[in-house]
Every structure is written in structure tokens, then in C-alpha cells.
Chain A
């Protein structure tokens, strides 16, 4: 079974700073997908970024980028120039390449951006 671990329950930074959220996972699969989802106070989960394990290039979406280290089974999220609207719970998630398309989530990191 796959497991996803987020070791930082809470983080807090000042607006405009860069912050990195950590995520590690355990799997015996060779092909899989990794995701970061954001849950703002509205509770609506939103996809932030997606990484395909067979791609060596790290995914980037505007101010959001990942550092994917396949051998270390690490998948961290970097938020540059943080904004107040980035305040949210962030969840790292894993999905196998084959079979049922279900996500396995980490415990979440509560990120607060201070003005």
C-alpha cells in the first residue's frame, strides 16, 4: 500500500517570501502521479500542480513549482512571492498509474501567509 507523509503540520511566513512544503511517499510502483491540492477556508479543494513520475523535469505553474526526487521519494512544493490568498491547507497526494484512479493523501500542512 502507498503512504504519503507531510511532516510539517503548520507553517507561517510573511507575504512575498518563498516557502517550501515537504512531502515524502512510499511505493513500490515505478509509474505514478503526484499532486498538490490546496484547501482554502472555503473548503473547496483545488489542484495546484501535478507531476508524472516518469518525467524528470519538475512541474511548474506560475509561482508554484515542485522539487521531485524520485530516488528519495520526495515531492516538495515551493511557493514563490507568497500572497495572502495562498493561506490554506495543502495536501500532497499520490495516484498509481494503473488500476483505480484514486488518490492517497498526506496529513496536510496548514500554511499561513502574514501581511
Chain B
């Protein structure tokens, strides 16, 4: 089975800190995604990547950046964490074909105090 691993299940950070959320997949998937999940809003796409060193903005990229130096790893970076970035962050990956299903990690619940 495909495994998507997120480095932390829970994370608490201070306002203004630089935060790194790491995601690793083990099935050589082309596509990787970062979503944030908020009650009543569902999942919203922050960034995605369809190849190494390639990235595209999703629907809510402001305040975030990403890095994909290796195919299996996709990092989400909060340059200067703010309280409105308190959320559940979900990483996902998929093969490069059409409408391939996404495989998700178990999420990181980030609290910014």
C-alpha cells in the first residue's frame, strides 16, 4: 500500500516562527499536494507539485511556500506563522495519470499561539 507520512501529528508554534511541515511518500508518485482543513470550509488547496522542483499555487497560497527537492518529499513552509494559520494540514500524493485517486497522510494539527 502507498504510504504518505507527515512528520508530526501535532505541532505548537509561536507567532512569527518559521514552520516546516514535512511529507514523504513511498510510491514514486508524480503529484503531491498540500491542503488545509478547517471546520465548515472543507479542504482547501495551498500548493501542489507535479514534478521535482516544480510547484504551482493552489487556492490559498498566501503566507506559505513549498519545496520539492526530491520526488518523494514535499515540504510546506510557513515563513512567519500567524494565528490564522492554526489548522489541520493534510498532504496527499497521486500518480501522474488522469483522475488518479489521492493518497493522504494522517494530517498535522498545527496550533499557532
Contacts and interface: CB of A to CB of B under 8 A. Distances in A.
Interface of A: 4, 6, 9, 33, 35, 37, 42-47, 50, 52, 91, 95, 97, 100-108
Contact of A42 (B41, B43, B58, B106): B106
Given A42-B106, A43-B106, A101-B94, A95 B99 contact: yes
Given A42-B106, A100-B50, A47 B42 contact: no
A101 B101 contact: no
A76 B101 CA distance: 19
Given A9-B40, A42-B106, A44-B106, A102 B45 contact: yes
Interface of B: 31, 33, 35, 40-45, 48, 50, 56, 58, 88, 90, 92, 94, 96-102, 104-107
A43 B89 CA distance: 11
22 contacts: A33-B99, A44-B104, A45-B90, A45-B104, A50-B101, A95-B99, A97-B98, A97-B99, A100-B48, A100-B50, A100-B56, A102-B45, A102-B58, A103-B43, A103-B45, A105-B35, A105-B42, A105-B44, A106-B42, A107-B40, A107-B41, A108-B42
A101 B100 contact: yes
A97 to B, nearest CB: 7
